Amino acid sequence: MTDYKIIEARHTNDTKFYVRFNDGLEGELDYKDFNTLGLGADLLEPTYLSKIFIDDNFGNVAWPNGVDICKDYLHQILSKST
């Protein structure tokens, strides 16, 4: 398994965010697609979603409320959409 690294993560608009990986794969994702269990409902607010960062420990995208999304999962989703 390749060790993908997110090298850029930023809020784009509304409930969407952009990620770019070290292998050049990049794309925009919608947080609503990840909120199936209702966790992190505050992230549906653009002002909170804009606090996205790359977690230093695991390299996942994360937010101050403790919600994170696995980098490998994001890479898999973006790979299928290209």
pLDDT tens per residue, range 34-60: 876 666 778 888 899 999 999 999 999
What lies within 8 Å, CB to CB, of 6 at 6+ separation is 19, 20, 21, 22, 54, 59, 60, 61, 71, 74
Per-residue pLDDT tens for 53-82? Answer: 999 999 999 999 899 999 999 999 999 986
pLDDT band at residue 24 under the 50/70/90 scheme = very high
- Residue 39's pLDDT is what? 67
Q: Is the pLDDT of residue 8 over 90?
A: yes
Domains in the chain, please, with CATH?
6-81 (3.30.2020.10)
